[in-house]
Each structure stands twice: as C-alpha cells, then as structure tokens.
A and B are shown apart, each in its own frame.
Chain A
Amino acid sequence: DTAVSQTPKYLVTQMGNDKSIKCEQNLGHDTMYWYKQDSKKFLKIMFSYNNKELIINETVPNRFSPKSPDKAHLNLHINSLELGDSAVYFCASSQGQGNTEAFFGQGTRLTVV
C-alpha cells in the first residue's frame, strides 16, 4: 500500500499548456504539502493545506493553483506552463504541523519543452 501516491510520475508537455498533478494519501493525515525540487536538488515549499484549508502559500506564481477536495487529496494545477517550471514536484503529508515528520510521495518529474 503506497502511503502518499502521486500521478503521473513523468509529465512532458509543451510551453503554454495547462496540466495537473494529483496526490492522495492513505495515512489519515490532516496536513498535505507541495514541494518543488529544482535541478540542483533544492527543495522548496510551495503550499500547505490543513484539513482542506490553505495555511501556507509561498511566493509562487499564480499560475500554480492547489486544490484540496478532501483532506486525503491535494492536487496541483499549473496554467500556461513555462520552461522554468521544469522540476520534480513532491507531495507530502503529516499529522499536525509540529514535531511530526512529513511522508513524501515518489515525485512527479515535469519537463516543459
């Protein structure tokens, strides 16, 4: 049983397209995150949701829009894709936001051509 699953694993698309990445966790956690890992492997927080409410919204272009239909799902929609959006996007979840660790999905490698 995969704890945090993302689809798709790989995504290749042209500039200007709109795409979505889906994330589901079966751990019963109440908090979910999206992180972006760039080509130098630096991990940066993008968004965080707690019980479907947006609690962290870092400086991210408004072309990126997260949606949480329920606390087990957090999807990421990207409009008008640009070359610089190419990266690996990780979904993660945790129970609470204090001393608990985050569990990560396998990542979605997005390549914009």
Chain B
Amino acid sequence: AQSVTQLGSHVSVSEGALVLLRCNYSSSVPPYLFWYVQYPNQGLQLLLKYTTGATLVKGINGFEAEFKKSETSFHLTKPSAHMSDAAEYFCAVRAKAGTALIFGKGTTLSVSS
C-alpha cells in the first residue's frame, strides 16, 4: 500500500530564510508525487508534481522539489521564504492509475519577520 510521511508537523522560518519541508513516500511501484498548499479556509492548490523525467521539479511561487528514488523522498524547498508562504503544505502520492491521491498529514509553515 502507498503512504506518505511528512516529517515535522510545524516548521518555522524567518523571512528570507531557506524553506525545507520533508516528505517520504512508500510505494511498491514508481509513484506520481505532488505538493499542494492550503491557505486558511481555502481549498488545495497544486504547487508542483513529479511524474517521470527530470527529478528536480520547479513549481509555482519559487518552490521546487527533488525526487530521490534511493531515499524515497520528495522534499520541498524554497530558497527565500516570504510572509505570504505561511500556509499548510501537503505531500501526496498516487501509485498507479485507478487510485486516488493519498496525502500526508501536512506541515504548517510559519514565517516570521
């Protein structure tokens, strides 16, 4: 069965600092991996996804993630945090066609000035 583990339920950074949100997955087949962001009282918005090909994926708002098969990881990074990045971030996996996205428990990102 597929699953996602997000290490750290809460990450705090200063404005301008590096953002690193960790995601590890478990899947018996090559997975499709996604990062979503959720702002308060809103739905989920796709940040980026990995399907095949280049393992470094660039997304919206300056975020990127790297798929590392050997480490079963798909960590999300942003070189310089902005106050507007404060939100809930979810990593998700879909192992194969016919299955739904399986989400991690989320990481709350706080950004201080």
Q: Which positions in A face B, CB cutoff 8 Å? A: 4, 33, 40-45, 48, 55-56, 90, 92, 96-99, 101-107
Selected from A45, A55, A106, A107, the residue in CB contact (under 8 A) with B101 is A45
A-B pair count, CB < 8 Å, reads 58
Q: Which positions in B face A, CB cutoff 8 Å? A: 32, 34, 36, 38, 41-46, 49, 51-52, 88, 90, 94, 96-103, 105-106
Instruction: Please measure, in the bound complex, the distance between the C-alpha atom of A99 and the C-alpha atom of B51, giving whole angstroms.
Output: 6
Chain B residue nearest in CB terms to A106:
B43
Query: Contact at B105–A42, with CB atoms within 8 Å?
Result: yes
Instruction: Please measure, in the bound complex, the distance between the C-alpha atom of A98 and the C-alpha atom of B43, giving whole angstroms.
Output: 21
Residue from B42, B94, B105 with most neighbouring chain A CB atoms (10 Å)? B94
Instruction: Please measure, in the bound complex, the distance between the C-alpha atom of A42 and the C-alpha atom of B43, giving whole angstroms.
Output: 13
| Sample of 15 more A-B contacts, CB < 8 Å, known A56-B99, A104-B43 | A33-B101, A42-B106, A45-B100, A48-B100, A90-B44, A92-B101, A97-B97, A97-B100, A98-B32, A98-B97, A99-B32, A102-B101, A103-B46, A105-B43, A107-B42
CB distance from A87 to the nearest CB of B (A): 14
Instruction: Please measure, in the bound complex, the distance between the C-alpha atom of A4 and the C-alpha atom of B45, giving whole angstroms.
Output: 12
CB distance from B66 to the nearest CB of A (A): 18
Residues of B within 8 A of A92 (CB): 44, 101
Instruction: Please measure, in the bound complex, the distance between the C-alpha atom of A56 and the C-alpha atom of B101, giving whole angstroms.
Output: 11
Residues of A within 8 A of B34 (CB): 101
CB distance from A50 to the nearest CB of B (A): 8
Instruction: Please measure, in the bound complex, the distance between the C-alpha atom of A90 and the C-alpha atom of B90, giving whole angstroms.
Output: 14
Selected from A42, A44, A106, the residue in CB contact (under 8 A) with B42 is A106
Instruction: Please measure, in the bound complex, the distance between the C-alpha atom of A102 and the C-alpha atom of B90, giving whole angstroms.
Output: 13
Instruction: Please measure, in the bound complex, the distance between the C-alpha atom of A110 and the C-alpha atom of B84, giving whole angstroms.
Output: 28
Residue from A44, A104, A106 with most neighbouring chain B CB atoms (10 Å)? A104
